[in-house]
Amino acid sequence: MLALPPVLLNVLGFLLGFAGVMVLRVLTVMFGKRPASKRSKPAKTMIVLGSGGHTAEMLMLMDSMGRERYSPRTYVVAATDAMSGGKAVARERTWQKTESPTGFSLVQIPRSREVGQSYLTSVGTTLYSLAFAFRVVLRERPELVLVNGPGTCIPICAAAFTYRVLGLAQTQVVYVESIARTRRFSLSAKLLYHLRMADLLFVQWEQLAKTYPRAVYAGRLY
């Protein structure tokens, strides 16, 4: 055995202990997925709109949800997506039957990589987008994060997971795989599934739920 000075041994012991606690926390959050206990107050909800077909599916799901339960709502859209924000506002108008709906907000998030951007500069923009996601989730501390891809949703999910590990938030992550995925998972679904970052992961085809047993088939949006 090396003879280490007692101070160093103490520091080492503390670091080891801390690392052990963190690993335990990560594993607890990864494997301790269970429904929340009884709730009566509305749940603050963050909805990531992934543009195009992703946005359409997410808003269809919101059509069917008890929106008084999932309130207030924060919609997260990519800064380059000119359409989704307007679609969310239009839908809020319809739901609330008023020209000036309330109780929701829109947040723009920078894209980690634009089509055609070089990989070198995309390292910087990815870090920026990740930092932005961590800031937004910490500020809002939603009780539910609702996502359905594409990649833009991953930084938000990573932030929610990290804050849960650190005990700063109790965010549940619900992912809905696109109806276009009939046989194979998207990259986002694979990440969230294997890293156990989603508390609930829906697929829209029964055969996919057979391939991925922890995925849930509960019907199709369309």
Partner 1 sequence: MPAASERTVFVTVGTTKFEALVERVDSLELLRALKGKGYTKLVIQKGNGAYCPSVIVPKGQTKGTTEGVDVEYFDYSPSLATYITSAALVISHAGSGSIFETLTAGVPLIVVPNPLLMDNHQVELGEQLAAMGHLVSAAPEQLLAAVQSFDASRLKPYVKGSAAGMAAAIDKQLGFTP
Residue tagged 């109806």 (tokens): 179
CB of 121 to partner 1, least distance (A): 20
Q: Between 75 and 132, name the residue whose CB sits nearer to partner 1.
A: 75
50 with 153: CB under 8 angstroms?
yes
- Positive or negative, the Cα torsion across 67, 52, 173, 154? negative
Selection from 184, 187, 212, 183 nearest residue 200 by Cα: 212
**Omega cis (within 30) before 150:** yes
CB of 109 to partner 1, least distance (A): 22
CB of 25 to partner 1, least distance (A): 21
Q: Which positions touch partner 1 (CB under 8 A)?
A: 35-39, 43, 52-53, 56-57, 60-61, 63-66, 69, 143-144, 146, 172, 174, 176, 178-184, 186, 199-200, 202, 204-205, 216, 218-222
Residues 185, 176: Cα–Cα separation, whole Å = 11
Q: Between 132 and 160, name the residue whose CB sits nearer to partner 1.
A: 160
Q: Between 138 and 179, name the residue whose CB sits nearer to partner 1.
A: 179
Q: Between 132 and 152, name the residue whose CB sits nearer to partner 1.
A: 152
Instruction: Return the DSSP state at 79.
Output: T
Residues 171, 174: Cα–Cα separation, whole Å = 10
47 with 75: CB under 8 angstroms?
yes
CB of 13 to partner 1, least distance (A): 39
Give the relative orientation of helices 6-31 and 153-165 as an angle to the nearest 10 degrees.
Answer: 120
Q: Between 36 and 127, name the residue whose CB sits nearer to partner 1.
A: 36
Q: Between 135 and 210, name the residue whose CB sits nearer to partner 1.
A: 210
CB of 39 to partner 1, least distance (A): 4
Residues 148, 188: Cα–Cα separation, whole Å = 8
CB of 5 to partner 1, least distance (A): 51
Q: Which residues pair with 203 in a beta bridge?
A: 217
